[in-house]
Structure 1
Amino acid sequence: MIKRVLVLLLLAISSGSVVAQTANDSLPRLESKTKNALNVADQLAYQAALRYNDLDVAKIKLFDLMVRNPEDLRYMEALGSLYFESGQNASAALVAMDILKVNDKNVGALEIAAYALEQLGAFDRALPYYESLNLLTGDNFSLYKSAYLQFSLKRYAEALNSVNMLVKNAKADEKIGFPISETETQQISMKAAALNLKGLIYLDQNAKTEAKAAFTEALSLESNFLQAKENLQKSN
């Protein structure tokens, strides 16, 4: 199923965004008053659909607004958010990538593209969006995600560079969640999380001495860090 979704995603990416092109080439031009009246009606219907949790109708109204107003990215942004919040990751990623073709510094679209593609297992496609997000915002969470994906793709030198930057720049009040059960998450400091990831990078390369040192340092910061404890045992 995941492979099928990724194939469809790649086909859609290669075809490019057709919303604006179709709207500009095929639709008759509306008088300003008519266009404004239709926009107001669709916006009211969209808001009502959200209020009554009818997401299908909300999406339809957004499509109408997008086709009628191809230059206004707000409607695509809202559609991408709806897809993302409802777990439709392939659709969310496609919308976000179309937005980024127009504005490659759109932070919301970068976040959605990165996370949605990661959830689809397309790590190599998600990584550039996390990296762009970090360069644009300086956000340490996106730097952590970049390091994790680099590690997952076995790009060890890049992953270690990202982790070392994170260890240096992590703020004391920054936390990241690690699942410890289906319903529970353990909040861990960003620096300790980065050190744990550093240990995993070394462990994956069978450098157990370096891995053990990294896990030990992570536990010196967060003594109850369950993942680091488990990983430390693996490095012995």
Structure 2
Amino acid sequence: MKFAVLILILCLSAQNISFAQENTNTTPATQEPITSNKAKNETDNRIYSLAMRYNDASVAKLKLYELMERNPGNLVYAETLASMYFEMEQYGSAALVALDLLERNDKSLTGLEVAAFSLEQLGALERALPHFESLHLLSGDLFSLYKAGYLQYTLKKYEEGLNSINMLIKDSKAAEQKLNFPKGENNEMQEVSMVAAAENLKGLIYKDQGSMAEAKTAFEAALAINPDFELAKENLAGL
């Protein structure tokens, strides 16, 4: 699954990363090293842009490391590197860069997103959960709220999961968003309303808790929104 923030970072950084230079000392006595660093930054940014254009990830990453070392206060380079690792499915490296980034700025949306999804991919669900929660709180992103609810269900944090799901269902914007779910034995994908997905998830929580009547009501609510929602049909039949 591709995530809009990560793709946006990678697309824009190749062209605009050169505008994020850092000058930390403006005294006349240090004008020469400042000029030298600026020139090095401009050169590295040009090489980075060319490497991205020619799909040479190794050179692009090297230049990002050099820019990070030379400009320790500029977090855009770390954000770009974390996003690049994630897009390359190097989730361990992506998580480490993102976690270091969050130690310096715990409100970095890129850092939170990369950390959350990378840790989830690595199976570290307990560590991924708070990053999804923070991402929703800071950005209002409803998919992050759904992911938080799903992880809470997986980790058997049922009350927290129901709270997240009810928040999602009550949000008017959720009805406008869609999620993809597998359909049939061929693993085809079908698009369903996020509200229907939330109702289905609520049904799973109630089922785990042994509340079959509430589970049935939730699965039926999901099917009322999307009558062809295959997963909700299977869950209802499973009761």
**TM-score by shorter chain over 0.5:** yes
The aligned residue for residue 206 of structure 1 is 210
Q: Which residue of the partner structure matches residue 113 of structure 1?
A: 115
What is aligned with 1:178? Answer: 181
1:164 aligns with 2:166: yes
Q: Is the contact between residue 130 and residue 142 of structure 1 (CA under 8 Å) also seen in structure 2? A: yes
Runs of 5+ in structure 2 lacking a partner?
Answer: 1-29
Which AA in structure 2 matches 1:120?
L
Superposed CA deviations along residues 142-169 of structure 1, whole A, max 9, x for unmatched, are 1111100000000011111111111111
Identity %: 55
* CA separation of 1:49 and 1:173: change in aligned 2, threshold 3 A: same
Give the CA deviation at 1:95: 1.0
Tell me the residue number matched to 2:232. 228
Matched residue, 1:196: 200
| Superposed displacement of residue 179, structure 1 | 2.5
1:107-163 C-alpha deviation (Å, 9 max, x unpaired): 111111111111111110000001001111222111111100000000011111111
Give the 3-state SS of the residue equivalent to 1:31 in structure 2. helix
Give the Cα–Cα distance (whole angstroms) in 2 for the partners of residues 98 and 178 of structure 1.
33
Where 2:73 maps in the other structure, the secondary structure is: coil
Amino acid at match of 1:221: I
AA at the equivalent of 1:142: S
- SS, match of residue 227 in structure 2: coil
TM-score normalised by structure 2 residue count:
0.83
What's the CA shift for 1:206? 2.4
**TM-score, scaled to structure 1:** 0.84
SS at match of 2:176: coil
CA distance in 2, matches of 1:196, 1:81: 31
Displaced runs of 4 or more, over 3 A? 181-184
Tell me the SS of whatever aligns to 2:112.
Answer: helix
Q: Match of 1:128, SS? A: helix
Equivalent of 2:60 in 55, 58, 61:
58
Whole-Å separation in 1 of the counterparts to 2:208 and 2:79: 39
1:170–1:190 contact (8 Å) kept in structure 2: no
Alignment of 1:139-158 (within 5 A): 139-158=141-160
1:182/1:127 CA distance change after superposition, 3 Å? farther
User: May I ask how many residue pairs the two structures share in their alignment?
Assistant: 207
Structure 1 residue 100, shift from structure 2 partner: 1.2
Q: Which residue of 2 aligns with 1:123?
A: 125
Query: Is 1:130–1:143's contact at 8 Å kept on the other side of the alignment?
Result: yes
Q: Give per-residue Cα distances to partners, 1:41-87, cap 9 Å, x unaligned.
A: 11111111111101011101110111111111111111011101100
CA–CA distance in 2 between the matches of 1:90 and 1:45? 26
Gap regions ≥5 residues in structure 1: 1-28
Report the Cα distance in structure 2 between the residues aligned to 1:156 and 1:144, rounded to whole angstroms.
14
Q: State the distance in 2 between where 1:49 and 1:116 align.
A: 24
What are the within-5 Å matches in structure 2 for residues 19-98 of structure 1? 31-98=33-100
2: CA distance between counterparts of 1:203 and 1:183? 24
